[in-house]
Amino acid sequence: MSVMAKYARIFWAEPTDTDVAARNRSVAKLRTEFGALDSRAAIAVAAALVNALAGDELPPDLSKTIEKAISDESPAFQMCGNQLHGAVCAAVAALDLTRDAPLANSGWSAPDAMAAALWSGLALQNPLESASVEVLRMDILEACQQRVRAVAKWARARQDVPDVGTLTISDTDAAIGKAQAMYKRATAPVIRALKENADLDREEIDFLWWALGGHSELFGCPLAKKAEFSRAVAVGIEGAAKLRQLPSDGHRHVVLRQIGESELLTLEQLVGTIAEDKADLADGFASTWASEYPSVFPLINALSVGGGLLESSVSLDARGWGGRALLEAAIIRLEERLGGTT
């Protein structure tokens, strides 16, 4: 199946079969490179792609990687003057990776981190002027949402606890060290399954106790005492702190169960509305690595002291901003907990 056939006309008026086949091979190379990244690097690539689709230049290192993948198939290609061409190929590689990469048990592989970061970054982005690039943006956004939802469910599946493996030590295996190694090998699958199940149990208990409490740890008071938008952002951030995997739709519904209908606000309007609570809401995010990627964490960045404000015309109600807070904070928490996994 050709992954570039739908998008080649973004930079070619009349692409040939040979043109598309060459870009398919380049996209496959980029997909392999992106899939081999650690999770922090995958988030960095996602941030760069969000910015590039909006017209910004690609970072030098990523630009070189893209240029090599394309020029290996088309030697005359140069990134200079062809930034959109390169950005589209890289974006399609990320799309392909998000759609087809196997789900990993950790729940935080490079494709998972990239999908979550792209969802976060693209969802608050203004619609793009180019209709064909906008189609690509929406395709990526939809695929990323689907992957995050799938991995949130997959990573929480309980493991079957196997029987302890057979431990056999012959008459000649007298060394205690060898016997210990054999015992560890026989029991390792059982212990691993029990630990993973216990971790998921702990997440459920911590999350549900927090949800039932109705008390804000950030504000140090009952949530009901806070205004709607401040309460929505707070529950998103606090709910994410209780999770050990990406949030599912069920987690989002629980987090926002006390948030009702409200007006629609842009990010700028939201920040003005919750101004007196910004410091409390930003607690724990100051000077973190996430500040390097404001396009992926626009809300968290806007809450922080000295943080910039992303220009966005997208308006959300209180539930929408609460859901965004949950997603952004969950990405940060997972990267801090599982960072470096691939």
Does 36 have pLDDT greater than 90? Answer: yes
**Distance from C-alpha of 155 to C-alpha of 60, rounded to nearest angstrom:** 35
105 Cβ neighbours under 8 A, 6+ residues apart? 155, 196
CB atoms < 10 A from the CB of 99, how many? 17
Q: What is the pLDDT of residues 298-312, one digit of tens each?
A: 999 999 877 788 999
CB atoms < 10 A from the CB of 207, how many? 20
Whole-prediction pTM: 0.89
Q: What is the pLDDT of residues 178-227, one digit of tens each?
A: 666 666 666 666 667 677 777 777 888 988 899 898 899 999 999 989 99
- Domain edges within the chain: 8-154, 214-338
| Long-range contact set of residues 285-289: C-beta below 8 Å, sequence gap at least 24 | 285/332, 288/332, 289/40, 289/335
Pick from 101-110, 165-174, 179-188 the range whose average pLDDT is largest.
101-110
